[in-house]
Amino acid sequence: MENFKFTTMEYSRPDFDSFKSKVQSFTKKLSTVNSYEEARNVFLDYDKYSCEFNDMITLANIRHTIDTTDEFYDKEVEYIEEVYPTVMPIVLAFSDCLYENKFRAEFEKEYGKQLFVQVELQKKSFTEKNIPLMQKEAKLCSEYEKIIASASIEFDGKTHNLFGIMTYFENKDDSVRKEAYKAYASFYEQHEARFEEIWDELIKVRNEMGKNLGFDNYIPLGYMKQGRTDYGAEEVASFREQIKTELVPFCQKLYLAQAKRVGLDKVMAYDEKLIFSSGNAQPIGDEDFEMKVAKEVYHDLSQETGEFFDYMERHELFDLKNKPGKAATGYMTAFNSLKAPFVFSCFNHTTYDMEVLSHELGHAFAGYMAMREQPISDYYSESTDIAEIHSMSMEQFLYPYAERFFGENADKFRFSHLQGALTFVPFGVAVDEYQHIVYANPQLTPKQRTAEWKKLEEKYMPWRDYGDIEFFAKGGWWYHKIHIFLYPFYYINYTLTTIGAMEFKKKMHTDKNKAWNDYMNLCKVGGSKSYIETLKFANLSIPFEEGSVKNSLSYAIEILNSQLEKF
């Protein structure tokens, strides 16, 4: 397989029946072993086999997002989502057997205790009763995704998907930005009725899952599904509070300075992305140019990142250009059996492209390192509250190379990106609080939920003003956030990890070698430790602790403050 290429990888429908019987035979073997060595061999064989099986599913999912209009993969993904939950009890039986194994102490000695912490989490978060609910959830999510992918908005004499229309949010012409925003709003407004129903059903389905596991609602289960073992809703609430006091006032200052800079009375919602009156930085070349620059940059950054980039290129593990029918998203995933990351996005010739080339490739690099460093696939990836540190820190590490992407506008890129990174956080915690509110209060009507979002905007984004764009003005902005529908309780991760990334930025400034060393350690450790343990291992602070937000953000705030008048 050393010479595989993504485009020629052969897909065959995963055989769930033979998977089930094979896993059952592993379980049987594991329960009758006589030595640790035997037990370990069974475990490693199982690990290898399940990686290969899951990689076929990954392949179907990737090809489906590359062309959502391809009926073949559409059907395959639908089939997989339908059948997949039925193998869960059999997989869990294997995990159970490992968990109860008489050689557990030896396993812990060799692989650490995190393996069993994960199994425990898996056990606690699963009940067979939830299988039909999981199937229903997957159907609702894929319907939402289809509606989003089907977006076809006429604007500026062209037809755009959602990513395409967003390009205009940075346009220098005030009326173009506003009209593009209106067009964007009208897409969500058109689908509001169905979105309301999908969301309502998702909340019900998920809360029922939580109840089936003995919880009041979905929230504790949502936390478990995010792999959280050493903090809960209370810690997260205290983090949101720190953001409100430490960051929200500074963001307000940023927007006041921005209004002055671009010559507006006030930065309206549709002006937020216009950081400079002369327009934002744009890549100085086309998509091929951007890829060529990215290659140079990754080679320059370190030997490991250079090798990584060449590997990705050699095996065609990028699909980054925008094409009709592509899902409007960006992500990194991996073929574990091949130790191969994969990166997907829709380039749109704005600063977003460089964000993809740093953010998603940051994820991919971390995966690439962990897959080579860690002995078992359970440790190839980490919980997402760690994973986004990899990606967001990579964004910061590439700042010194911005000239190569943006030429003389590199400073503008750096300023606007850093401002964006910080002003994002209040929005991010609002998304998180919104989810807590709706799952804890399932009696809210769809319109009341949207009103709750409006209140959160007032609390965390007091600068936000949509003017006469009715749909957003009454609270409709939350609809555009895919994560709220598809990945419950994921979003706070981006904000927790911004803190880690800003800490790395600060460290890069004071001690570059130490910063890179800590970063490499963070990547290599993968998912072999818990959240807090991982942060400590990489010499990062714990965001819930009093003062941590203030301390981590201080350098970034200092830079922005010193440049408010520069442009």
List contacts with Zn ion (CB under 5 A).
388, 391
Residue 80 is encoded by which pair of tokens? 């997989």
Reported as half-sphere exposure (CB side, CA atoms, 13 A), residue 423 has a value of 22
Is the Cβ of residue 290 or residue 388 nearer to Zn ion in the bound state? 388
Q: How far is the CB of 381 from Zn ion (least distance, A)?
A: 12
Compute CA distances 134 → 56, 92, 176, whole Å: 21, 16, 42
DSSP secondary-structure letter at 545? Answer: S
Q: How far is the CB of 440 from Zn ion (least distance, A)?
A: 27
Question: Are the C-beta atoms of residues 446 and 199 closer than 8 Å to each other?
Answer: yes
Q: Are strands 340-344 and 331-335 parallel, antiparallel or unpaired?
A: antiparallel
Please list the residues that pair with 340 across neighbouring strands: 335
Is the Cβ of residue 171 or residue 351 nearer to Zn ion in the bound state? 351
Is the Cβ of residue 182 or residue 417 nearer to Zn ion in the bound state? 417
Is the Cβ of residue 258 or residue 333 nearer to Zn ion in the bound state? 333
**What are the φ and ψ backbone dihedral angles of 340, each rounded to 5 degrees?**
-120, 115
Is the Cβ of residue 115 or residue 429 nearer to Zn ion in the bound state? 429
Q: How far is the CB of 388 from Zn ion (least distance, A)?
A: 5
Amino acid at 104: R
Is the Cβ of residue 27 or residue 333 nearer to Zn ion in the bound state? 333
Q: How far is the CB of 391 from Zn ion (least distance, A)?
A: 4
Q: How far is the CB of 303 from Zn ion (least distance, A)?
A: 24
Compute CA distances 169 → 74, 175, 400, whole Å: 31, 10, 26
Question: Is residue 339 within a helix (H) or strand (E), and if so which, with residue range?
Answer: none
Is the Cβ of residue 130 or residue 383 nearer to Zn ion in the bound state? 383
Q: How far is the CB of 321 from Zn ion (least distance, A)?
A: 19
Q: How far is the CB of 505 from Zn ion (least distance, A)?
A: 17
DSSP 3-48: T--GGGPPP----HHHHHHHHHHHHHHHHT--SHHHHHHHHHHHHH
Question: Is residue 158 within a helix (H) or strand (E), and if so which, with residue range?
Answer: strand 158-160
Is the Cβ of residue 319 or residue 465 nearer to Zn ion in the bound state? 319
Q: How far is the CB of 359 from Zn ion (least distance, A)?
A: 6
Residue whose Cβ sits closest to Zn ion: 391
Is the Cβ of residue 68 or residue 384 nearer to Zn ion in the bound state? 384
CA distance 453 to 431: 8
Q: How far is the CB of 113 from Zn ion (least distance, A)?
A: 27
DSSP 203-267: HHHHHHHHHHTT-SSSHHHHHHHTT--S--HHHHHHHHHHHHHHTHHHHHHHHHHHHHHHT-SS-
CA distance 485 to 443: 18
